[in-house]
């Protein structure tokens, strides 16, 4: 197979963890006989510094001409700490989602036995946790009308959704549930918000007409936030709107024991984007300490989702687990004698290239 991959390393630890994911993808090429063409492009703070635009036209062109996008992270303190900054790195991420039609963010949450002690939850609570959140990504309060009064004493942000926006991500969530445990939980705030009542109405109708074999239940977002801590293994597929999804996926990310372990995919109408969920972590940039497994597992999602390479994706996931079982762990997981970012990437890539994990 021959494919084109856009590589947007971004800011902070983005370049470091993305480099490890690229090592593993190149190991896949050697082990399985594929050819991937990588094209790098700027996004985020580095793009602002170079062009004044967090998502330049040249980067959009590279993305549109690629078969998938491997993304690192966006964000830098010099913009985060300046409330008067008119251009921010995060604007590049929102622009990219809109330009590429990335309407669905998919975040799997899995726990690993080797990391049970690293989780802030009791070991018995995090056993066998395996759920996925489908977060709507291009609508809601992040993209609605906003503003402030002339005197600056009043501000507003509008949450707007259409039936079509809700239907297209609902389809993905229910299709995923059929391949998993046939259970979808819609997370909303229908007791307060009109937009949530539309979500509940549309999802109920769609479920009844198309997926009656899938169990559908409903949960207010505040209750869901508690349930994710009290009983995370309850969930299978979580379907929710943009802001609620942003919050509960970050909450869920700590269950596994390290935010550096979780991948994600953003899919839509043009080309899909794959990224670790941890953000740019500028304090750790350049120190070779970041956990690259989220980026490596994002590469596995890329192979599986965009290219249909299921065996190759499974090999990467098994290699990540094997590396952890062999004690190859970064400082976020093991404080004493941790491995570096590059050591983890090298170890996982070697396992993949040897194909020792394919039949494991």
Task: Return the active site residues.
Answer: 142, 189, 222, 246, 250
Token look-up 């596995």 returns: 300
Distance (Å) of CA 239 to CA 17, 126, 166, 249: 28, 21, 10, 11
Name residues whose C-beta falls within 8 Å of residue 241's C-beta, 6 or more positions apart in sequence: 135, 136, 139, 140, 159, 161, 188, 195, 196, 199
Closest CA to 19 of 239, 285, 200: 285
**Residues 266/272, Cβ–Cβ less than 8 Å:** yes
Question: How far is it, in rounded angstroms, from Cα 350 to Cα 356?
Answer: 9
Question: How far is it, in rounded angstroms, from Cα 189 to Cα 257?
Answer: 29
Beta strands in the chain (DSSP E): 2-10, 35-40, 68-73, 104-110, 130-136, 146-148, 155-157, 183-188, 215-220, 237-240, 263-267, 273-276
Distance of CA 133 to the CA centre of its chain: 10
Name residues whose C-beta falls within 8 Å of residue 82's C-beta, 6 or more positions apart in sequence: none
Q: What are phi and psi of 287, to 5 degrees?
A: -100, -5
3-state secondary structure of 355: coil
Question: How far is it, in rounded angstroms, from Cα 28 to Cα 155?
Answer: 51
DSSP string, 36-77: EEEEE---THHHHHHHS-SS-HHHHHHHHTSSEEEEEE---H
Instruction: Quote the tokens at residue 318.
Output: 């098994």
Q: Is 327 exposed, middle or buried (0-12, 13-18, 19+ CB in 10 A)?
A: exposed
Question: How far is it, in rounded angstroms, from Cα 300 to Cα 279?
Answer: 19
């Amino acid at each position: 197979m021959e494919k084109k991959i856009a590589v947007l390393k971004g800011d902070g630890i983005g370049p470091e963890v993305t480099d490890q994911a690229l090592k593993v993808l190149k190991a896949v090429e050697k082990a399985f006989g594929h050819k991937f063409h990588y094209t790098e492009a700027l996004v985020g703070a580095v793009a602002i510094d170079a062009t004044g635009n967090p998502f330049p036209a040249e980067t959009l062109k590279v993305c549109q001409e690629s078969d998938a996008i491997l993304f690192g992270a966006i964000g830098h303190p010099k913009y985060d700490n300046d409330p008067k900054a008119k251009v921010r790195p995060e604007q590049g991420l929102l622009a990219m989602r809109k330009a590429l039609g990335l309407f669905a963010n998919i975040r799997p949450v899995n726990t690993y036995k080797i990391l049970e002690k690293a989780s802030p939850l009791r070991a018995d609570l995090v056993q066998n946790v395996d759920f996925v959140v489908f977060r709507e990504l291009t609508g809601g309060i992040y993209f609605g009308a906003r503003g402030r009064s002339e005197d600056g004493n009043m501000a507003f942000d509008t949450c707007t959704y259409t039936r079509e926006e809700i239907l297209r991500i609902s389809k993905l969530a229910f299709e995923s549930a059929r391949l998993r445990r046939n259970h979808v939980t819609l997370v909303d705030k229908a007791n307060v918000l009109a937009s949530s009542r539309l979500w509940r109405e549309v999802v109920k109708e769609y479920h009844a007409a198309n997926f009656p074999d899938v169990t559908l239940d409903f949960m207010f977002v505040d209750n869901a936030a508690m349930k994710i801590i009290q009983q995370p293994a309850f969930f299978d597929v979580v379907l929710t709107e943009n802001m609620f999804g942003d919050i509960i996926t970050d909450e869920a990310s700590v269950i596994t024991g390290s935010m550096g372990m979780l991948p994600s995919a953003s899919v839509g109408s043009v080309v899909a984007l794959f990224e670790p969920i941890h953000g740019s972590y500028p304090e750790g940039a350049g120190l070779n300490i970041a956990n690259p497994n989220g980026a490596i597992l994002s590469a596995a999602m890329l192979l599986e989702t965009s290219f249909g390479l299921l065996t190759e994706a499974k090999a990467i996931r098994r290699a990540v687990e094997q590396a952890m079982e062999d004690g190859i762990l970064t400082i976020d997981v093991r404080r004493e004698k941790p491995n570096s970012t590059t050591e983890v990437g090298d170890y996982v890539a070697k396992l993949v290239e040897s194909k020792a994990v394919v039949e494991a």
